[in-house]
Chains A and B, each alone.
Chain A
């Protein structure tokens, strides 16, 4: 996956917060998923900006980590969401 990819959150996904976890529900499959604190930041940025390059820039202001590591984590996160049909690419 390249950084100039645009990612869109599926309209079938609903979000709620319980016990410091972000819970996602895919209403099509009726499956529930959980995001930890870091996953929630990634997800909120996806809601705000669709473009991965833009999100990566934002992530650099959140985390004191090398850009390459953040890029790797972001792409792995989006691929996992895509696999669960929670986002469209």
Chain B
């Protein structure tokens, strides 16, 4: 990879690695290498739980409860790379550590650092969902671990639907509606450490209005497929579970956002048989359901 010429589109921004930092645009993020990153008075540390076998943490100069941009923060992937924000999300810096590689830097940047940065500066609210384009709306799939989010997302891609999000979906509210900013053109329908997945050519690059959200409920292989609308508290249980960058702060704002979302977006639970041979039936059920809901 020639990083000097390398550009990438993620979460609605164009990433420019080691480019001309004087270039500015509201949809551009410059990422430049520096020899040292330091943060004075960085007394506050938040450790991230991860299954990637790495120690990763955020350091800030103020408590996250009172955090507001512009603010400086440092995100460390121990032994690999450190990222620094000096108060402007559109200009990030990184420092190579002993086990650095370009691929690892890209992985951590796209997988965690950018969602974190765009959460801290209140650009987006991230949901942990697979998402595809159905009838020009983003349809979301969420559920507990191993519910089949990636498998179903992959099946829709095979059927020709454009990818909106493989894992982390950037959402925002504009006027009375909710929108999804497509994440990145990588899709990983398998489990692997520090791997963004394979490039998906059919990537939806424009923002889309949020359509339906399906909560995947795995059932026995021979059970019926059924779709039930979720109401009230059940919506919150689903949305709360689907919250991606959960820093445990600004809960009042989060509650207000989720309430608006719950009041404006239809949420359904779908029973999905644990049988790959029946994915076509699940696909048909969702397409028919979406068509009748329009």
- Interface residues in chain A, defined as those with a beta carbon under 8 Å from any beta carbon in chain B: 14, 16-21, 23, 25, 27, 30, 32-34
Q: Contacts of B175 on A, CB cut-off 8 Å?
A: none
20 contacts between A and B (CB under 8 A): A14-B252, A16-B259, A18-B231, A18-B232, A18-B259, A18-B262, A18-B263, A19-B231, A19-B232, A19-B262, A19-B263, A21-B232, A23-B233, A23-B236, A25-B255, A27-B252, A30-B240, A30-B251, A32-B236, A34-B232
Q: Contacts of A17 on B, CB cut-off 8 Å?
A: 259
Using CB atoms, name the residue of chain B closest to A26: B251
- What number of B residues sit within 8 Å (CB to CB) of A? 15
Q: B64 → chain A, closest Cβ, in Å? A: 14
Q: B212 → chain A, closest Cβ, in Å? A: 16
Expressed in whole angstroms, the Cα–Cα distance for A15 and B263 within the complex equals 14
Mark B239-253 against chain A: 1 for CB-CB distance below 8 A, else 0: 010000000100110
Expressed in whole angstroms, the Cα–Cα distance for A32 and B262 within the complex equals 14
Q: Contacts of B176 on A, CB cut-off 8 Å?
A: none
Q: Contacts of B232 on A, CB cut-off 8 Å?
A: 18-21, 23, 34
Contact among A21, A25, A33 for B231, CB-based, below 8 A: A21
Q: Contacts of A30 on B, CB cut-off 8 Å?
A: 240, 248, 251
Contact among B240, B248, B255 for A16, CB-based, below 8 A: B255
Q: A1 → chain B, closest Cβ, in Å? A: 26
Using CB atoms, name the residue of chain A closest to B258: A16
Q: Contacts of B240 on A, CB cut-off 8 Å?
A: 30, 32
Mark B242-281 against chain A: 1 for CB-CB distance below 8 A, else 0: 0000001001100110010011000000000000000000
Q: Contacts of A27 on B, CB cut-off 8 Å?
A: 251-252, 255
